[in-house]
Structures are given as C-alpha cells and as structure tokens.
Amino acid sequence: MRLEPVYGPHPSRCFGSSLGLDPLNFTVKCPLSCAFCPIPVKKSSLKKYSPGELEMLVEESISERELRLETLYIDGSADPFLYDELPELLGKLKSLAGKYGFKLALKTNMYFARALSTVLEAVDLLVVPFYIADLEWSTMYSPAHNLNLSAGEYYSRLASILSEYKSYADKIVFDVYVGRVGLESNLSAYLDEYVHILLYKLRPRKGFIKTLDRPVRNFDLKPVSKSVLGRISEKLVEEGVEAVECSRKSIGVKAKSKRAFIEVYNHIIRKPLRTTEITGLYGDYGIIAIESLVSRKLARKIIWENELFYIPSG
Ligand code: SF4
C-alpha cells in the first residue's frame, strides 16, 4: 500500500479540522519511541518528497477535496526537524496558508531543532509535547541509545532554547498530554513532579491540556478523568499560564473522497480511527474502504476503552 505524506483531515481536539503533513513519510526511522506516540506501527518507505512536491500534494488535497481547514499540522512518522529542507518547505506552506486561510502548526520535541528563527517566523504555532503519566521519563520518551540524553539534560536544553527564543513565546505552545497506566490515585506524585518541571523549568506561556482519546503506542496507557485535567489547568492558571482544555468536537469536516482506500489507510497509519470518524470524514466509501483493508489484512480492528478502532496491521 502506498505511503503518502498528506493525511486526514483529522478532527483534532486542539486544532480543529486539520490536514496532516508528514514530510518524512516514514523515510527516516524515528529515534524516539514515545509511549504517547499516535503511530500504531512502524513502517518504512524509500520515497522522499521535495518541498515543491509536498506543497503540490497539500494544495491538490485541499482543492480537489474542497477542504475547509483550520490547521495544517506538520507532524508524522518522525520529528519534522529531521526533514533537511524544512525552512524551504515552510516558506512554501506559508504562502498556501495565506491563500487558503489556515494556521500552520508544527509539532516537535525540540531534540533536533535547527534554523529555529526561520521556522518560528514561518509557523503560527510550534507545538511541544509534554507527557504526564505514572511512568518514568525514559519510559515515556524512550530515546535511542545514541541520543544519550537524560531527563534533566533534555529539560535543561529545552529550557535554554525557550529562553533564547522568548520573543516567540506566544507561538510556542505546550501540548500537555496526560494518561495513566495504573489507578488514577497513583498518578498524583508523578503529576506534581511533571507539572513542577513544566511550570518552573520550562515556564510556558500557553498549554493545551488533554488526555488520550484513542489508543497510543503504549497500549496500557488509558485516559484520565476531567478532574485531573482540571487540576493541571488550575495549577497552570495560578502561575499565569494560559491553559486550554481540548475536548472532542463533532467531526464536521467531511471531505470529498476520491481515493478512500488510500486516504483512509494513510490516516490510520498516523492515527487510529473509530467507525464514526471514518464515516464522518470519508462517508460510506470510507467504511467500504476500511472493511476492504481489514479483509486484505492491511488493517485490523481493536477494542480500546470499550470502543472499536481501526489500526494498520503489522
Ligand atoms: S511521537 Fe513523534 S517523536 Fe515520539 S516516537 Fe512518535 S514520531 Fe517519534
């Protein structure tokens, strides 16, 4: 099955109707293995796309499928900073953003940040994930051995980048993603420690607060209650941070789908989808496509938190 760099649109809780762009498209092996990674399986591809090709694919997807987007979300199979021509790509996407009226958001954990001023000038939002769970840091991010960073070193480096680029603080938003493996009552100690790091070491100006709404790579991770999210928001607000709790909205982004088979596949290899989402986004052709993918063993069904999800096989 063809791996394509444009996927969605996805009904994002924080970014609205967002088309995903994965510039690396599985050509680079991600050096991390985050417990919260939304990508359910590892894939690899040889096809690299140039900035011009990526721009063309995004524009084709918007115009041919008559998409009305709130966000173009740059993220996918590995950190976008590993894409060598990122500044050139962002220049092109910025023009498209002006033409079609969407925001440009790029997700990065900042491990590989480079040419940061150029990137920050181009994007509307630089989204930095900040995971909170009853897990140690190394289990949560699982960096490859050759990266050799400890939690302390990672946060110090992040803090120093944030302080160097504080004139862009309005564009840098923390995506505070909360889950639990054990009982919610066991989360407290971890939560206090992680929130302390976030508030007093990284000092964000704005944070999106959310819990899992679909399975992630560490299948044992489960959602937390609204009261936990509320507690985190309260702590952030007390320290002057703008805290936005992201919750699930109606799908409302039905797109024309000419190639449902490929489009649905490329969506589920980045984010597992529930049946209602497939119908809402891709219509009846989407359901026919996903059932066909299942019968060809390219996708499978799983139950997570009492709901049926489709994920890719293998
Ligand atoms: S979340 Fe991003 S950085 Fe982490 S493993 Fe997945 S692709 Fe890599």
State the pTM of this model: 0.94
Say whether pLDDT at 242 is over 80. Answer: yes
Write the burial class of residue 251 (CB in 10 Å: 0-12 exposed, 13-18 middle, 19+ buried). Answer: middle
What is the Cα–Cα distance from 230 to 196, expressed in whole angstroms?
16
Q: Is 34 in the pocket of ligand 1 (CB under 6 A)?
A: yes
pLDDT digits (tens, 9 = 90+) for 222-235: 999 999 999 999 99
Residue minimizing CA distance to atom 6 of ligand 1: 37
Q: Domains for the chain: give ranges and CATH numbers.
A: 6-312 (3.80.30.10)
- Does residue 78 line the site of ligand 1, with CB under 6 A? yes
Q: Report d(CA 164, CA 242) in Å as an integer.
A: 21
- Tell me the CA–centroid distance for residue 284 and ligand 1, in Å: 31
Q: How far apart are CA 174 and CA 83, in angstroms?
A: 22
Q: Which atom of ligand 1 is nearest to the CA of 78?
A: 7
| Predicted confidence (pLDDT) per residue in 72-130, tens digit | 999 989 999 999 999 999 999 999 999 999 999 999 999 898 999 999 999 999 999 99
**What are the distances in angstroms from CA 7 to CA 25, 74, 75, 249, 298?**
10, 10, 10, 19, 17
Please, which residues have CB within 8 angstroms of residue 160's CB and are 6 or more apart in sequence? none
Return the residue whose CA atom lies nearest to atom 2 of ligand 1: 78
Measuring CA to CA, how many Å separate 66 from each of 60, 62, 99, 156, 255? 9, 6, 14, 44, 7
> DSSP per residue over 279-295, as a string?
HHHHHHHHHHHHHHHHH
Q: Quote the Cα angle for 77-20-122, to 5°.
A: 100
Question: Hey, which of 109, 130, 270 would you mutate to test ligand 1's pocket, going by the most ligand atoms within 8 Å of its Cβ?
Answer: 109
pLDDT at 132 over 80: yes
Using a pLDDT cut of 90, give the percent of the chain over it.
76
Determine contact, residues 9/58, Cβ cutoff 8 Å.
no
**pLDDT tens-digit profile of 5-52?**
999 999 889 898 899 999 999 999 888 889 999 988 888 888 899 999
* DSSP class per residue in 190-244: HHHHHHHHIIIII--SEEEEEE-SS--SSTT-B---HHHHHHHHHHHHHTT-EEE
Ligand 1 proximity of 147 Cβ (cutoff 6 Å): no
**Residue 143 pLDDT:** 83
What confidence category does residue 254 fall into, taking pLDDT thresholds of 50, 70 and 90? low
Residue type, 66: E
What single-letter amino acid sits at 234? E
Q: What share of the chain is helix, strand, coil (3-state, %, to 5)?
A: 40, 20, 40
The answer, yes or no, to whether residue 249 has pLDDT greater than 90, is no
Q: Give me the pLDDT at residue 252, please.
A: 58
269 lines ligand 1 (CB under 6 A): no
Instruction: Determine the pLDDT at residue 251.
Output: 58
